[in-house]
Amino acid sequence: MPKEGDPRRYRMKRWKRLICLMVLAAGMMSCVPRQTNAMDGVSAKSAILIEQHSGRILFAKDAYTKRRIASITKIMTAILAIESGKLDDMVTVSARAVRTEGSSIYLREGEKIKLRDLVYGLMLRSGNDAAVAIAEHVGGSVEGFVFLMNKKAAEIGMRDTEFANPHGLDDAENHYSTAYDMALLMQYAMKNEEFRRISGTKVYRAPAPPGEDGARVWRNKNKLLTSLYEYCTGGKTGYTKRAHRTLVTTASKDGVDLIAVTLDAPDDWNDHIAMYEYGFAHYRIAKVSGERVVKKIADPFYKGRLRAARDLQYPVTEKEMDGLRVKVYLLKPRDEWKDDPSRAPEEVGKAVLYLRKKAVDVVPLFYEPERKESSHGFFFHLLRLLGVRVDG
């Protein structure tokens, strides 16, 4: 035992005091509810949740790492087929399409089938044979279609994506994307009404192959849509031995539209449900009426003559509501516009929604020249309505 005045005795007292403080702090912390992250349990190696219209990222986990994507590739194949304008074309199925390995809708060589039916078979049953048949018809060849896929990816802004085939099979090393890029693709595709309809279809009936009666009946493989999650509105499943499970889905609730993506996720159904529940619980769409914005503009030249293209909107949490502000930017009216309002440009400014200092939504403001009133006045129009002929 160290004697009084021994430096070791002083150090022991200091350590005892520190241990007492640590025990006290631990006791105090145990009385406070632990704030856990609702997304800690997401099984996917890469995941992302975005709001569909704004693209705001609500949750992300390693969302920019390039990974294999398997059959969610077919979202790109589907939207290109739809945008080709050839959905009513009859497609002749090639031997190459029929021999494609993996999931199939069991096409027959030489049979003729509508491109629209192929897209349903592609999205609902993940038919690899359908993917090749679509690619050959729309792109002239599989290789030509892959060129179109990569061109579209660049247009959308999918900077970390490369496509090597229309189906997602592991037959090439240069076929990959990221969770973020796939969310961008789904956001783009969901702007198309035909795509939304196909993606959200639970059961589809296509004509039977030649020589058979009845119809082909395809049930969607997306279990979130068909049974697991009432708010799911569509999506695409995927799996290969190298990519493992991949999934892109959409969901809507109380005016909030979300997109979820998971790559290499052993528990993808529950991952998506957890992300959606988090998004719907924490975010709502803040809207600012475009009509209300233009009514507040006091400039004599513009007053009563402006129209906003649409309402301003953005997904926010309850705490963020107070941080929203709207600013209006208008061109300074020129003298020649005042003399002749029809000479003013159609688009004269913009309304910008800010979340704190960040611009989160922009809508153009259009100028509508004041209508000239008829010099004949009220009684002239009344006589015309009564069928009385009035010259002049």
H helices present in the chain, as ranges: 7-30, 74-83, 95-98, 115-125, 128-139, 142-156, 179-189, 193-199, 223, 268-282, 290-295, 335-339, 377-385
Catalytic residue among 61, 74, 221, 236: 74
Please indicate whether residue 126 is annotated as part of the active site.
Answer: yes
Distance (Å, whole) CA 159 – CA 340 = 47
- Please report, as a single letter, which amino acid is at residue 23: V
Instruction: Look at strands 312-316 and 324-330 and give their pairing.
Output: unpaired
Cβ distance 147 to 130 under 8 Å? no
Reported as half-sphere exposure (CB side, CA atoms, 13 A), residue 146 has a value of 16
- Sign of the C-alpha dihedral computed for residues 142, 138, 219 and 190 taken in this order: positive
Instruction: Enter the tokens of residue 151.
Output: 């061109």
Distance (Å, whole) CA 116 – CA 100 = 20
Cβ distance 176 to 169 under 8 Å? no
Catalytic residue among 46, 126, 177, 199: 126
**Cβ partners under 8 Å of residue 261, min gap 6:** 46, 47, 48, 63, 72, 179, 180, 182, 183, 186, 247, 248
Distance (Å, whole) CA 244 – CA 98 = 24
**DSSP 8-state code for residue 224:** I
Please indicate whether residue 71 is annotated as part of the active site.
Answer: yes
**Cβ partners under 8 Å of residue 226, min gap 6:** 202, 219, 220
**DSSP 8-state code for residue 159:** T
**Cβ partners under 8 Å of residue 217, min gap 6:** 203, 204, 205
Cβ distance 297 to 332 under 8 Å? no
Please indicate whether residue 74 is annotated as part of the active site.
Answer: yes
Distance (Å, whole) CA 331 – CA 165 = 49
Catalytic residues: 71, 74, 126
